[in-house]
Homo-oligomer: A and B are copies of this chain.
């Protein structure tokens, strides 16, 4: 069944491998240009294959998008979840742990982040709904974190918490974008850089208050 003892009909690249190639290429294209601006032919061309093969393997363009979305969504969700769970004493603070987990999860597929946050998805489509599901799930995790942080700071306005959630997401997005533009940087180097930046922000907020 899963092991078709026969090896007849083995032209070209095995389907499983080809599917992986296609998914990788599609994820990068979708992430880089957005759903609408991405053409199926371009993805096919990247893999060195023609359009109908993608359709046979994955169905329509939207199905292909979903096939890209699900793995990265689950991966990110899981990474963030476990990163937030392990609050050891004298471990790095939660935001840094989350960032570090993010970089590790996105290593080799950095553009995938933007598959989740694609504004060109046809509104009302299945794809848009599923992407929203993952975004919300991640946001819920972030919400827990930011709420806790704001509580520590004594702020209670729920809108403030919501805005902080957005701000945090935007920060992550920006750092991933910077990372994409600096391909040589390892996930660990990114984590260290973020630690430095947070440290800098800390001292800045403490000292400068008049002119900055």
| A75 is an interface residue with CB less than 8 A from chain B | no
Q: How many copies does the complex hold?
A: 2
Cα–Cα, bound, A168→B169 (Å)? 12
Whether the Cβ atoms of A173 and B175 lie closer than 8 Å is no
| A149 is an interface residue with CB less than 8 A from chain B | yes
Interface residues of A (CB under 8 A from B): 32-37, 87-91, 93-95, 114, 119-120, 122, 148-150, 152-155, 157, 159-160, 162-164, 166-175, 177-178, 182, 193, 196-212
Whether the Cβ atoms of B36 and A157 lie closer than 8 Å is no
Q: A34-B36, A36-B34 are in contact. Are A175 and B166 (CB under 8 A)?
A: yes
Cα–Cα, bound, A27→B136 (Å)? 27
Whether the Cβ atoms of A200 and B153 lie closer than 8 Å is yes
Apart from A163-B175, A170-B177, A205-B205, list 15 A-B contacts with CB within 8 A: A87-B212, A90-B210, A91-B211, A93-B210, A149-B204, A149-B212, A152-B207, A153-B201, A153-B203, A154-B200, A162-B178, A167-B197, A170-B171, A170-B173, A201-B205
Q: In the complex, which residue of chain B has the Cβ closest to the Cβ of A119?
A: B34
Question: What 10 A-B pairs come out closest when comparing CB atoms?
Answer: A170-B174, A153-B200, A36-B37, A37-B120, A166-B178, A202-B205, A93-B212, A170-B170, A94-B212, A87-B211
